[in-house]
Structure 1
Amino acid sequence: MNTISSMTGAASVQYNSNELSFSITVKTVNNRFLDAYFKLSDNIAHLESNFRALCAEYLKRGKIE
């Protein structure tokens, strides 16, 4: 898959089931370098490095919150 060079945008999604519920909001702006910032709940904070790696796999630059 190709990487995205830069992007500006926002998206939000919510998921609910009997076993799991979560919401994700992503905001991006153009930036010279890749800068990913996450606000994670304590029970998934250990996954932050995985999220960073996933962002780096598909994005070359931009500020992602």
Structure 2
Amino acid sequence: MQVECPTCKKSLEWDEANPYRPFCSERCKLIDLGAWANEEYRVPAENVDPSDLDQGGHNETHH
């Protein structure tokens, strides 16, 4: 099966012997990992109603 390296877009064979799949090389895998570490990829957050958040301190009893 042919896949495309997510980093360099090079076409490569999906091979169980390739420890870097779906990347073509360790270099491309590390580039992708670095992009995640630098927060270049964003996962959209759900909008949260502030009233749903625990405001803390309201239900505590002090002795």
Q: What interval of TM-score do these two structures reach, taking the shorter chain for normalisation?
A: under 0.3
TM-score w.r.t. structure 2 length?
Answer: 0.24
Structure with higher strand content: 1
Larger radius of gyration: 2
